Amino acid sequence: MRLLFCILFTLAPFFNLLSESAGQDWKELSGEHFIVYFTQDDKFAKDVLEESEVYYRNIASELGYPRYSEFWLWEKRVKIYIYPDHQSFLAASGQPEWSKGVAEYKTKQILSYAWSKGFTESLLPHEIAHLIFRDFVGFKGEIPLWLDEGVAQWMEEPKRREVKRLARQKLETNSFMVLEDMMHLDIRNVKYKELVYIRPALSNDKRQGVLFLSAENLIDIYYLESVSLVGFLMEKYGGDSFTNFCREMRDGKTVDEALRIAYPTHIHSIAELEEKWKEYLEKTD
């Protein structure tokens, strides 16, 4: 089964987007924490603004993000640009063809285009979560990219139960990458559909294996594994421990050190995280 959520939402790159110079005739709607720029369909833009405010509150609360004065207010509001079609979005953002939306951390912008299916239910919370998460953890710590992507997907609440089923299915067929490999993989560099990507496989019997993956399959597996790992930490050990885990990395701890501090009686290394996660999936209904 194709994992649709993995190809619908791209990750947030570390460069300035070209939204303001893309030659669009923008209309504008302003809210407390967001400004929506759009070219057509006023109702859709209004729905986006209203849903954004709801997601902002819910995601910040779930991540344990500390609220402080002037957070995303006034000139610090997040700007959401809704392009009229996919091609104009790609031209403005420089994203790969499979991308449907992107969040830019440093300028607090979200870019996408006017597609209705899944926009407010999935893309919007996904990209807002990217921004809130990075506001919390910053850029100086050892924050693996899979964790950033996993958090963003976890905030797409309707898909959480489906993630468990698909993750268990992949695990049973030895179709997951080794977590240590994911720690060093920059999925943003996977841009060429014609290439075959060779990655070490995570097998149930602990023997070494190899995956031969198309770009699309690699992206699918990376995203599914990322959100499944975050879901495991959230559901098994709770949001407070997860917040502590992220905070420790923000403050300079390595991933292994942060795991030992946040989960002192359960997880002490990346390898142990992988093992506990596998056990959790095997017991999932």
Tokens of 108: 């607090």
- Residue by residue, DSSP assigns 215-280 as HHHHHHHHHHHHHHHHHHHHHHH-HHHHHHHHHHHHTT--HHHHHHHHSTTT--SHHHHHHHHHHH
For the chain, the structural domain boundaries read: 4-137, 145-282
Cα distances (Å, whole numbers) of residue 123 to 102, 111, 113, 249, 283:
9, 10, 11, 26, 30
Distance CA 265, CA 274 (A): 15
Instruction: Give 150's pLDDT tier (boundaries 50, 70, 90).
Output: very high
Q: What type of residue sits at position 216? A: E
If one looks up domain 4-137 in CATH, what number appears? Answer: 3.40.30.160
Whether the predicted pLDDT of 284 surpasses 50: yes
Whether the predicted pLDDT of 2 surpasses 50: no
DSSP tag of 12 = P
pLDDT at 192: 73
Whether the predicted pLDDT of 16 surpasses 50: no
Whether the predicted pLDDT of 13 surpasses 80: no
pLDDT at 107: 87
pLDDT at 22: 54
Q: What type of residue sits at position 31? A: G
Q: What is the pLDDT of residues 181-209, one digit of tens each?
A: 999 998 888 877 789 999 988 877 667 78
Instruction: Give 116's pLDDT tier (boundaries 50, 70, 90).
Output: low
Which residue, 105, 120, 187, 114, is CA-closest to 150? 187
Whether the predicted pLDDT of 69 surpasses 70: no
pLDDT at 280: 94
Q: Are 274 and 203 in contact (CB under 8 A)?
A: no
